[in-house]
Structure 1
């Protein structure tokens, strides 16, 4: 993975955990350790996706709540 593929934070710098994992040398890990690492990373990906989905649902609910109700405005 080259530097252009390292995840960046909102502020333009590398993300601590993701950047560290992306640059870590995997040669020292056994097959079992790699399998465990993959399982942990897949669980973390699932956790992040779940949080993203909850955040998206929260945003949609907020947008629906604050959306103007009927009565003209932007209707063509």
Structure 2
């Protein structure tokens, strides 16, 4: 269990101050965030797949 699991889900995160970041740092940050988006979309697709299988099992 991560410590993040114990924090409220609706808590808004503070935005990072990007004004002092270099171009390279900003590009790396964007790449990391895009990878995280892909990871989240994959998790959503998996959950939807499981939900559709469960729905098909319990439908009459």
Q: TM-score, normalised by structure 2?
A: 0.79
Note the residue ranges of structure 2 that are not aligned, 5 or more in a row.
1-7
Higher relative contact order (CA 8 A, sep 6+): 1
1:61 paired to 2:53: yes
Q: Say which of 3, 11, 14 aligns to 1:14.
A: 11
Aligned length: 53
Note the residue ranges of structure 1 that are not aligned, 5 or more in a row.
1-7, 69-76
Q: TM-score, normalised by structure 1?
A: 0.63
Show CA shifts across 1:38-60 (max 9, x none).
00000000000000000001000
RMSD: 1.6
After TM superposition, where is structure 1 displaced by more than 4 Å over at least 4 residues in a row? none
Distance (whole Å) between structure 1 residues aligned to residue 26 and residue 43 of structure 2: 26
